[in-house]
Chain A
């Protein structure tokens, strides 16, 4: 206890002040001396000594900075690559769209070229029209880009070309000034009087997704697979002689075996109806 009391007595205010300011004072004095000394001689020797202490840190710092700059550059490159990637994706999408359009235009061009080369010999007068779109709610009807302004009326016959051969495509059921709706052969509401190659006549009816049929052919008629079917002279809507398709299958119908029913393959498939020729009413008799 006495020792502690003795020690406590040693810390007078002056001693405390000395303890507090001795170290910073020494450093201030030392740095002041360093400032007033010339940079050659002692100072350069001191710098040389300090270089052994500081150079490794400087190297580490420099490496860290360089690494950081490398990371920064890498991040910038990644961001640039990401931006370029986005741009390229957009360009690819645009190119794909253009490619699809070009394919469609090319196909249309081929079809039109084929049409131009065809030696049409039919006697009818009419107008060419393009399919604008299909009715989504009724797949076997198409809308044409021409209407009454071009002379198209309801009940006008419509023909199209597939594989270089023209054939019956359907009939106009509605017409506005600039558009007209065509009921295709395959539609269940479609019907037309037709004639087989052997002269027998029947009623062609669409059958939706099932084969197109010709009904009411005499039971004893000689019908062979591959026989051509044309529109009949007795039809009130279609001019005679338009190729409809060819016989695919013959069987006895359900009408108490009094008539044959024939399945036919239409000359123009519904999916091939792109450009059509609409026969104008006053052009039939020419």
Chain B
């Protein structure tokens, strides 16, 4: 029960932060994707089934507001979750640098994949622009340590955490 509450709390934190930062940085034209940072941290710190589920749910949350296509963010986040879950053993995500590099790379991947999916399935353009993606990726990377720290604090040493 406590674990379920923690997961709900983490999901709410992710959505609130995403909404807040997206609203804040959109005026400068940066496509900040804080919820992707949360997804990366979920995959690096939580058990795999929980990480996949949270990633899918976070993607659905973003799709909920999309008018062009439904499911593209869920697909993108699931792909990102697969990547992180498969490289997590080879990187030390307790260090800041791997956290930031992973988030920076995934921001680019998510941006590109999303654009391709929208172009293919909705016959539309979702490319926010190179500088917007770059600025967003840098900001995502800068926020990564904070997000990882928050998830560690909320999850604690519970059974939610990935072993080993």
User: Which label, helix, strand, loop or mixed, suits the secondary structure of the A interface?
Assistant: helix
Q: Is there contact, CB below 8 Å, between A31 and B74?
A: yes
Q: Does A92 contact B (CB under 8 A)?
A: no
**Contacting residue for A61 out of B19, B60, B72, CB 8 A:** B19
Q: Does B107 contact A (CB under 8 A)?
A: no
Min CB distance, A5 to chain B, in Å?
23
Q: How many residues of A contact B (CB 8 A)?
A: 28
**Contacting residue for B52 out of A27, A39, A51, CB 8 A:** A27
Closest A residue by C-beta to B18: A61
Which stretch from A62-70, A93-101, A194-202 is at the chain B interface?
A: A62-70
Query: B69 — which chain A residues lie within 8 A by C-beta?
Result: 35, 39
**Contacting residue for A62 out of B19, B85, B121, CB 8 A:** B19
Q: How many A-B residue pairs have CB under 8 A?
A: 82
Q: Is there contact, CB below 8 Å, between A57 and B15?
A: yes
Which stretch from B76-84, B98-106, B131-139, B141-149 is at the chain A interface?
A: B76-84
Identify which of B18, B48, B53, B74 gathers the most chain A CB atoms within 10 Å of its CB.
B74
Q: Does B124 contact A (CB under 8 A)?
A: no
Q: Does B12 contact A (CB under 8 A)?
A: yes
Q: Is there contact, CB below 8 Å, between A65 and B75?
A: no
Q: Is there contact, CB below 8 Å, between A35 and B16?
A: no
**Contacting residue for A54 out of B48, B61, B75, B117, CB 8 A:** B61
**Contacting residue for A32 out of B49, B52, B63, B71, CB 8 A:** B71
Inter-chain CA distance A31–B23, complex, in Å, is 26
Q: Is there contact, CB below 8 Å, between A68 and B20?
A: yes
Inter-chain CA distance A36–B16, complex, in Å, is 29
Q: Is there contact, CB below 8 Å, between A28 and B71?
A: no
User: Which label, helix, strand, loop or mixed, suits the secondary structure of the B interface?
Assistant: helix
For window 42-90 of B, CB contacts with A under 8 Å fall at 48-49, 52-53, 55-56, 59-61, 63-64, 69-72, 74-75, 78-79, 81-82, 85
Q: Is there contact, CB below 8 Å, between B63 and A34?
A: yes
Closest B residue by C-beta to A72: B24
Inter-chain CA distance A60–B16, complex, in Å, is 7
Query: A31 — which chain B residues lie within 8 A by C-beta?
Result: 56, 59, 71-72, 74-75, 78
Min CB distance, B28 to chain A, in Å?
15
Query: B52 — which chain A residues lie within 8 A by C-beta?
Result: 23-24, 27
Min CB distance, A71 to chain B, in Å?
12
Q: Does A47 contact B (CB under 8 A)?
A: yes
Beyond contacts A36-B121, A57-B15, A61-B20: 10 other A-B pairs, Cβ-Cβ < 8 A, are A20-B48, A27-B56, A30-B71, A31-B72, A35-B69, A35-B70, A39-B69, A58-B15, A61-B19, A65-B23
Interchain Cβ contacts under 8 Å between A and B, 6 examples = A27-B78, A28-B78, A31-B56, A31-B71, A31-B74, A32-B75
* List of 5 A-B pairs having minimum Cβ-Cβ separation, nearest first: A34-B71, A61-B19, A31-B75, A31-B74, A35-B71
